[in-house]
Amino acid sequence: MKNIDSKNHVTGKSVYVDDIPVQNGTLHGAIFGSPKAHGKIINLDLTDAESLDGVEQIFTFKDIPGRNQIGGIIEDEQLFAENEVHFIGHPIAFIVAINEDIARKAVKLINIKIDELKVITDPREAQKKGHLLIPPRTFKMGNVENEWSKCEYIFEGKVENGGQEHLYIETQGSYAYPIDNGSIKIHSSTQGATLVQKIAARVLGIPMHRIEIDVARLGGAFGGKEDQATAYACMAALATYLLQKPVKISLHRLDDMQMTGKRHPYSSDFKIGLSKDYKIKAFQTTMYQNGGAANDLSPAIMERTLFHSTNVYYIPNTKVTVYSCKTNLPPNTAFRGFGAPQGMFVIESAIAKAASELNISKQIIQKQNFIKENERFQYGQLAENSNIIHCYQAAERTYNIDQIEQEIEEFNSKNSNYKKGMSIMPICFGISFTKTPMNQARALVHIYQDGSLGISTGAIEMGQGVNTKMIQVAASVFSINTKRIKIESTNTTRVANTSPTAASSGADLNGNALRIACIALLERLIKTAAKMLSCELSEVRIKNETIIRNGEKTEVTWEQLIETAFLDRVCLTENGHYATPIIHFDKTKETGHPFAYHVYGASIVTVTVDCIRGTYEFDNVKIVHDFGNSMNSTIDNGQVEGGVVQGIGWMTMEELSFAKDGRLLSNSLSTYKVPDIYSVPKNIDITALKTEGPELALLRSKAIGEPPLMYGIGAYFALANAINSFNPNYKIDFDAPLTPEKVLMRLYKE
């Protein structure tokens, strides 16, 4: 099935927050953010701004009727700074005016005096000074301390990875307006409708039932709207509540880039020990996560880093510690992969370091250590249906890795100014929110009298195609045409208490809830059908919109069935609830079974470096991916392609740059480079590993959102190998992103 939104997307008809027709008298908001990264507010002078013609009102923390607190996991983040500011762009005031231009003009008229305090942007410096967001956490297995003396080889190193700007095409935004009885409706560009509802209720000091959140779709999110859409919805809601007028905010790109958090940069130390036959016997790493000025989702992201710090490998002795460091940057947040890419980059770096020192190819070590069926991850869960070995073998078969290596060697021996490099990136990603209670969802299904359906779930469409998958689920249960089914917006009055659409679990959780609702309705309809045909329940089923009796088509159509059921006063509405079974985790022991299943895959990344200029082109990414039994290969392949490109961007060209004073220098698209059509790999081959798929995946089709991003990590090592064949003096180092500038310096490093 094609993505139901494709046509409207390419013709510009899809409606986003900024496209919603506004009501008469709608006011427009703009945010005054802190001009300094750290300091005490001595004086805030709003008089000039307030007297600007067209400014309706300016709100600060003093106007908040409820609590000035938007922190989710930890309550450590104010909606508006009260006495201190902690990052540049830290919201201080919200200006509401008759149009956007005036609101933005007024921002410039606000005068503030800040007594500056020391600015820290480096996570290691923050950790040394004791500025931690939460206490550090350690995962371990076996005993690394005892193991080092038994290792044949030991290598140590340091790894840096940069952050990443989400660059959703639709910036953060919200449109709020009063509805009946003192309630408020908010259209928010959020991945977490319930989170927005809950925090807005907290800020306004009113019950959740007085706030209705509605989300049609997002123009991209990538994690950036899991937590951070909330602030903007709360600001619009606050102004709406106090003025009783519609209020809209849609961030300017420059403000969005400056104010919002990004993927976490990490700085890490590692130590890896191997046996003579290249088995990894021990692995230790300490990672310093740059959390920014408040917790946001950092504790959960730290947790996912810990879970993924051994990637696809079985390592009997591990010790992994993550410090979440408080710095004067915008609070860093969820980004596709959610800490896992950072952890996986470190273990892959450790392996690359060992390979480089031992003068062997990285694959030799990778292959020796793939986790096997029923070996344990360091957090206690067994690798059931571990498909990494199958993926790797399929990649060897399908793409002939030896031949690729030979061709690269040949190319490199014949060319002096161009060098090629390749690398294999295996991945393993755990599916489920690591916080077990979040793994639940609900759906609401109405069958209307004419046989058409309206379905609602808690899933949010952000371009990933979840709505299309939801329609497929309902169509498959009833065996009816997808055209009969309409998916409604995600709305908290229809489906309550939703988890954010995140953790790659949107389709699994909401699709299973929807399936449960549809199956319950189907059972009722089968009863009606049996009654119509005067036969046993077991004799009837529905196929292609027709009632089948004992395998034979009858005259009864879907429409007749529904009409009869309605006249017979059968309930044609159903609610489904799903909670992922079997998962659990004990934080006191750091062990359990946190994931419903794992997604595996292997990619081969090849690159050509122009050794005069330091520029490069990715020739190929060849992938064997474990989709399970993909329910929509067009959508799933699209997710793989997008993920690969986003991962390569993170590893190679997307370089966030902050000045010492905490100012974001790469604050626009002229200074922050994302992959464009010219820089994507020339070719992406995707081969599906043929498997049945796990029972806990929706229709045995595995979660797809995040895992493929990590294929892009291979880009770093492919580049390093190409540099090395030009410059044998280059000793591999780990400092992503490996931008063309950095490549050039390494090509000519003595």
- Of 177, 266, 338, 595, which one interacts with ligand LUZ (CB under 6 A)? 338
Of residues 525 and 703, the one with the C-beta less far from ligand MOS: 703
- Of 333, 386, 434, 468, which one interacts with ligand LUZ (CB under 6 A)? 434
Of residues 336 and 746, the one with the C-beta less far from ligand LUZ: 336
Helix 362-369 to helix 340-358 angle (10° resolution) is: 120
For residue 684, the tally of other CB atoms under 10 A from its CB is: 19
Q: Going by DSSP bridges, is the β-strand pair 485-487/183-188 parallel, antiparallel, or unpaired?
A: unpaired
Whether residue 706 lies in the annotated active site:
yes
SS (H, E, C) 592-660: EECCCEEEEEEEEEEEEEECCCCCEEEEEEEEEECCECCCCHHHHHHHHHHHHHHHHHHHHCCCCCECC
Q: Tokens 């058409």, residue? A: 452
Q: Going by DSSP bridges, is the β-strand pair 153-161/734-735 parallel, antiparallel, or unpaired?
A: parallel
- Of 168, 175, 278, 335, which one interacts with ligand MOS (CB under 6 A)? 335
Distance CA 718, CA 398 (A): 20
What is the maximum span of the chain, computed from C-alpha positions, in angstroms?
88
Which parts of 218-257 interact with ligand MOS (CB under 6 A)? 223, 226
Q: Does 334 bind ligand LUZ (CB under 6 A)?
A: yes
Which parts of 26-55 interact with ligand LUZ (CB under 6 A)? none
Q: Provide, rounded to whole angstroms, the least separation between the CB of residue 733 and ligand LUZ.
A: 29
Of residues 443 and 502, the one with the C-beta less far from ligand LUZ: 502
**Contact between 606 and 682 (Cβ < 8 Å):** no
Return the one option of ligand LUZ, ligand MOS, none that residue 304 interacts with (CB less than 5 to 8 A, by type). ligand LUZ
Return the one option of ligand MOS, ligand LUZ, none that residue 549 interacts with (CB less than 5 to 8 A, by type). none
Q: Does 630 bind ligand LUZ (CB under 6 A)?
A: no
Q: Among 401, 248, 483, which residue's Cα sits nearest to residue 718?
A: 401
Looking at 61-192, list the stretches that DSSP marks H as alpha helix, in order from N- to C-terminal side. 100-108, 123-128, 144-147
Catalytic residue from among 405, 706, 741, 750: 706
- Size of interface with ligand LUZ, in residues (CB under 6 A): 11
Q: Provide, rounded to whole angstroms, the least separation between the CB of residue 292 and ligand LUZ.
A: 17
Task: Specify the stretch interacting with ligand LUZ by CB under 6 A; choose among 272-280, 432-440, 476-484, 534-542.
Answer: 432-440
Name every residue whose Cβ is closer than 8 Å to that of residue 562 and which is 6 or more positions away in sequence.
Answer: 447, 449, 450, 451, 525, 572
Name every residue whose Cβ is closer than 8 Å to that of residue 25 and which is 6 or more positions away in sequence.
Answer: 245, 246
Name every residue whose Cβ is closer than 8 Å to that of residue 670 and which is 6 or more positions away in sequence.
Answer: none
Task: Specify the stretch interacting with ligand LUZ by CB under 6 A; choose among 281-289, 362-370, 427-435, 621-629.
Answer: 427-435
DSSP state of 263: B
Q: Does 336 bind ligand MOS (CB under 6 A)?
A: yes
Return the one option of ligand MOS, ligand LUZ, none that residue 434 interacts with (CB less than 5 to 8 A, by type). ligand LUZ
- Of 433, 618, 650, 717, which one interacts with ligand LUZ (CB under 6 A)? 433
Q: Does 429 bind ligand MOS (CB under 6 A)?
A: no
Which parts of 168-197 interact with ligand MOS (CB under 6 A)? 191
Q: Does 509 bind ligand MOS (CB under 6 A)?
A: no
Distance CA 33, CA 81 (A): 9
Distance CA 197, CA 233 (A): 9
Q: Does 338 bind ligand MOS (CB under 6 A)?
A: yes
Q: Does 503 bind ligand MOS (CB under 6 A)?
A: yes
Q: Does 172 bind ligand LUZ (CB under 6 A)?
A: no
For residue 678, the tally of other CB atoms under 10 A from its CB is: 6
> By rule CB under 6 A, what string of x and - marks binding of each residue 547-586 to ligand LUZ?
----------------------------------------
Q: Does 304 bind ligand LUZ (CB under 6 A)?
A: yes
Q: Which residues are catalytic, by number?
A: 706
Q: Which residues bind ligand MOS (CB under 6 A)?
A: 191, 223, 226, 334-336, 338, 502-503, 706
